[in-house]
Amino acid sequence: MINILFVCLGNICRSPMAEAVMRDLIENAKLNDKIKVDSAATSSWHIGEPPHRGTQDKLREYGISMTGMQSRQLHKRDFEQFDYIIGMDENNIRNIYTMLGNPDSPKIFRFLDLTDHRMDVPDPYYTGDFQETYDLVLEGCRALLDKIKHEQKL
């Protein structure tokens, strides 16, 4: 099983959006039996909460399920459990390395570095632009799925 973990600050906007979008792409590609997806926060602010209302609204708009999703914090054991640990921005990448004990590993990387954008995913909690975030997340998830299919020969 290939395990993917998306990480952002609160695990209520960007990373759960990426988790839900990636699950949808995986389901459509009929790879549910090969790839699992989760998301986590670098902060402890929203532990146990569902995705932000704006994220929920955007996912509903596109018919994407968020069943069972609730915020959790990144744990050291996540490094062993996940094959891909993807931070939504540079600050979260730094926090991931610190929280996981500074592992030198290519499995930790910034999400949009897989695309031509090579930028942070803007946080809609602050920008209010959930459509921009969705568009970037969709592009990033497609690129990540292509990367995994190529690397894992799926």
pTM over 0.95: yes
Whether residue 8 lies in the annotated active site: yes
Domain containing 57: what range? Answer: 2-151
Q: Which residue is catalytic, options 38, 120, 123, 141? A: 123
116 is catalytic: no
Q: Which of 13, 14, 23, 38 is catalytic?
A: 14
What CATH number did the domain enclosing 108 receive? 3.40.50.2300
Give the CA radius of gyration of the chain.
Answer: 14
Angle, to 10 degrees, between the axis of helix 53-61 and the axis of helix 130-151? Answer: 70
Tens-digit pLDDT string for the chain (154 aa): 999 999 999 999 999 999 999 999 999 999 999 999 999 999 999 999 999 999 999 999 999 999 999 999 999 999 999 999 999 999 999 999 999 988 889 999 999 999 999 999 999 999 999 999 999 999 999 999 999 999 999 9
Q: How many residues does the chain have?
A: 154
Considering its fold, how many domains does the chain have in total? 1
Q: At 6, list the tokens.
A: 């998306």
Is 141 considered catalytic here? Answer: no
